[in-house]
Homo-oligomer: A and B are copies of this chain.
Amino acid sequence: MQQNKIPQATAKRLPLYYRFLNNLNQQGKKRVSSKELSEAVKVDSATIRRDFSYFGALGKKGYGYNVEYLLGFFRSTLDHHEVTEVALIGAGNLGTAFLKYSFLKNNNIRISKAFDADERKVGSDIDGVPIYHIDDLSEQLDGIRVAILTVPSTEAEVITENLVKEGINGILNFTPARITVPNHVRVHHIDLAVELQALVYFLKHYPLDKE
């Protein structure tokens, strides 16, 4: 669908641009240059211009970008007029933090259902999000295509199989397990322990001054 010419690296930065444009818009700013944007999001200004250029000529030479126009453009590009429903699997420590956070305001994403195996949690809700039993995926998941996975890593593989069976095609996996999926399913890993360890590694092994 659409031009899949857009590099992945660019696609990953789009939500970031979008959020900052939103901020600017709320501050009443009318125009912005790639240089200003660069300082705010810490991405080289040439990279920003290049990123934008994949979508056509969105700016004006000598002027910069019109915030409102750009925002409108991104809104439709990011499908931001419609809310994306997401399921959360595993309402534990991490899962609960997500349930309490509103992705709706800035991101038009709503965690609308949670699933867990713990009988004490099933039937309750967290900040208005109902928790269902994991065995009821089939009945309750209907239509939802994206899942956040915050279960113990030992459960990840089996649960993933079920999620895929029920039509999920996007998984944000916080589990350390590297899950296997058919190739119509997209998995993004966020491995917090790895991130932390990588940071520590960089601190110890890379020159301190100058990047």
| Closest CB in chain B relative to A4 CB, distance in Å | 6
CB pair A107–B196 under 8 Å, yes or no, is yes
A130 at the interface (CB under 8 A from B): no
A41 to B210, CA, bound (A): 32
Q: How many copies does the complex hold?
A: 2
**A194 and B16 in contact, given A93-B96, A199-B186, A211-B183 (Cβ under 8 angstroms):** yes
A1 at the interface (CB under 8 A from B): yes
A61 at the interface (CB under 8 A from B): no
Interface string of A167-211 (1 = CB under 8 A from B): 001101000101000011010101111111111111111111111
**A6 and B205 in contact, given A86-B196, A198-B15 (Cβ under 8 angstroms):** yes
A142 to B203, CA, bound (A): 17
A19 at the interface (CB under 8 A from B): yes
Q: Contacts A15-B197, A172-B196 given; 17 further ones with Cβ under 8 A? A: A1-B204, A4-B207, A12-B198, A14-B201, A15-B193, A19-B176, A19-B193, A93-B97, A94-B101, A98-B192, A107-B193, A107-B196, A145-B203, A170-B202, A183-B209, A188-B199, A190-B195
